[in-house]
């Protein structure tokens, strides 16, 4: 794909929550500082909320990487758990029970209270070592009320002077409203720190894109023009996940054009292939609109077709036996694969063309 063309050592805009790609925007850096503060002060409950795609899971993983060796951690990514399963997975992440024990159901007959007592004993054993423990629950807005209440009970594990378990609930904005429910008021009263992850500003979007391109090793061979970055912000609303989708497709289209300069046209092409709303602005020229349509078709056909467009545009596709037509009053491009190969031999589809 485009990684080799631009010299990337890895995908710069992958959707996986890789901590090394975490960009320290004002809102993300603020969340990070609050979490580290809460851990040092043993503040009890912390709630981090943010819309879909704002980087909550990436933030969690980055925090876990920054914890020192004296902090034990448990990260729960599956909120659809029973109270007992919750306790078992916490004990597994802390290393108190093994995966094999859980898999073989050797803890199946253990009561919920016994599991809580085991966890309490473990947490108390950390005190002479001057160590601590942190539990991070992702997608916490999906936790059933009974499980949230169980987590509240875990916050009661404490000494006369400090909490034994730091608990971080991470979720979508629904989490904040859920915690305001009357049956969860005891949990809400224990929340000492709340923080909302916000979308990136236009300047932060530009820095975010450069950051990811640099981390992936391709900063010397690809450039996003200011107009392209402005389009990325308009189309994504500053949401990191959507930025990643847009930039990934724009780089694919840029590879097709054999260019290291990503302009606003390529970003608009990416948005059309993703079916995102178009940005507001003057109607582009006929030539630009045709280019967008051809590039969008190429994206749909795969990389080999993209290279074909870059190598000679529509004429090249025609020379290879593809049928290209413009339909309707608006320049619409329709591409059909050749029914028979030029040589008369059975046709073999190129890579990426199905």
The bridge status of strand 332-336 relative to strand 323-327 is: antiparallel
pLDDT at 308 over 90: no
- What is the DSSP annotation of 29-74? HHHHHHHHHHHHHT--EEEEEE-TTSSHHHHHHHHHHHS-TTEEEE
Residue whose entry in the numeric block shows the structure tokens 């591409």? 335
pLDDT digits (tens, 9 = 90+) for 214-230: 999 988 889 999 999 99
Alpha-carbon distance of 148 to 348, in angstroms, equals 56
Nearest Cα to Cα of residue 30 among 178, 165, 197, 191: 197
Is residue 335 a contact partner of residue 297, using CB atoms and an 8 Å limit?
Answer: yes
Instruction: Give me the pLDDT at residue 297, please.
Output: 53
Least confident of 159-168, 205-214, 274-283: 274-283
H helical segments located in the chain: 2-6, 26-41, 56-66, 83-93, 99-103, 112-126, 145-154, 174-179, 185-189, 202-215, 226-236, 240-256, 264-273, 286-301, 303-319
Q: Are 212 and 218 in contact (CB under 8 A)?
A: no
Does 289 score more than 70 pLDDT?
Answer: no
Shortest CA distance to 126 belongs to which of 99, 96, 155, 84?
96
Q: How confident is the prediction for the chain on average, in pLDDT?
A: 80
Q: Percentage of residues in the chain with pLDDT exceeding 70?
A: 76
CATH topology of domain 201-336: Helicase, Ruva Protein; domain 3 (1.10.8)
Distance of alpha carbon 152 from the chain centroid = 28
- Characterize the bridge pairing of strands 191-197 and 45-50: parallel
Q: Specify whether the CB–CB gap between 187 and 149 falls below 8 A.
A: yes
In angstroms, the CA 101 to CA 93 distance is 13
CATH architecture of 24-197: 3-Layer(aba) Sandwich (3.40)
Contacts of 176 (CB under 8 A, 6+ apart): 47, 49, 194, 196
Q: Which residue has the tokens 């967008």?
A: 292
Give the CA distances from residue 91 to residues 128, 154, 168, 331, in Å, rounded to whole numbers and listed in that order: 20, 12, 16, 61
Q: Domain residues of the chain, as ranges?
A: 24-197, 201-336
253's tokens: 């289209």
- Token duo for residue 195: 């923080």
Query: For residue 313, how many C-alpha atoms fall within 13 Å in the half-sphere facing its CB?
Result: 8
Per-residue pLDDT reduced to its tens digit, 160-177: 888 899 999 999 999 998
Per-residue pLDDT at 30 exceeds 60: yes
pLDDT digits (tens, 9 = 90+) for 85-94: 999 999 999 9
Q: DSSP readout, 95-139?
A: TSS-HHHHHTTTTTT--HHHHHHHHHHHHHHHGGGT-EEEEEETT
pLDDT at 330: 35
pLDDT digits (tens, 9 = 90+) for 64-79: 888 888 889 999 988 8
pLDDT of 266 > 90? The answer is yes
Q: How many CB atoms lie within 10 A of CB 153?
A: 13
Give the Cα separation of 37 and 51 in Å (integer): 23
Q: Ranked by mean pLDDT, which of 69-73, 125-129, 338-342 comes out on top?
A: 125-129
> Does the pLDDT at position 342 exceed 70?
no
Confidence grade of residue 281 (pLDDT, cut at 50, 70, 90): very low
The Cα 124–Cα 201 span in angstroms is 44
């Amino acid at each position: 794909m485009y990684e080799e063309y631009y010299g990337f050592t890895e995908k710069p805009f992958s959707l996986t929550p890789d901590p090394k790609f975490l960009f320290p925007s004002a809102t993300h850096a603020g969340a990070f500082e609050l979490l580290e503060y809460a851990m040092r002060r043993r503040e009890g409950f912390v709630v981090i909320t943010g819309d879909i795609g704002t980087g909550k899971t990436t933030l969690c993983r980055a925090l876990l990487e920054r914890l020192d060796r004296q902090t034990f951690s448990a990260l729960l990514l599956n909120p659809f758990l029973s109270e007992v399963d919750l306790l078992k997975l916490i004990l597994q992440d802390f290393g108190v029970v093994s995966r094999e024990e859980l898999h073989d159901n050797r803890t199946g007959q253990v009561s919920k209270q016994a599991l809580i007592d085991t966890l309490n004993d473990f947490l108390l054993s950390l005190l002479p070592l001057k160590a601590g423990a942190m539990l991070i629950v992702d997608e916490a807005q999906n936790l059933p009320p009974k499980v949230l209440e169980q987590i509240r009970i875990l916050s009661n594990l404490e000494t006369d002077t400090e909490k034994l378990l730091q608990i971080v609930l991470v979720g979508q904005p629904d989490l904040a409203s859920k915690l305001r429910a009357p049956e969860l008021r005891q949990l809400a009263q224990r929340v000492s720190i709340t923080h909302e992850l916000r979308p990136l500003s236009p300047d932060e979007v530009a820095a975010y894109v450069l950051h990811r391109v640099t981390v992936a090793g391709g900063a010397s061979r690809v450039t996003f023009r200011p107009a392209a970055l402005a389009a990325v912000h308009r189309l994504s609303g500053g949401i990191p996940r959507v930025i990643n989708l847009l930039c990934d497709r724009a780089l694919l289209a840029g590879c097709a054009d054999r260019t290291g300069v990503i302009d606003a046209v390529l970003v608009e092409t990416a948005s059309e292939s993703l079916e995102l709303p178009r940005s507001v602005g003057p109607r582009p020229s006929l030539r630009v609109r045709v280019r967008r349509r051809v590039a969008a078709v190429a994206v749909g056909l795969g990389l080999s077709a993209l290279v074909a467009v870059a190598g000679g545009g529509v004429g090249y596709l025609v020379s290879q036996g593809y049928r290209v037509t413009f339909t309707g009053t608006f320049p619409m491009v329709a591409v059909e694969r050749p029914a028979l190969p030029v040589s008369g031999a059975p046709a073999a589809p190129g890579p990426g063309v199905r």
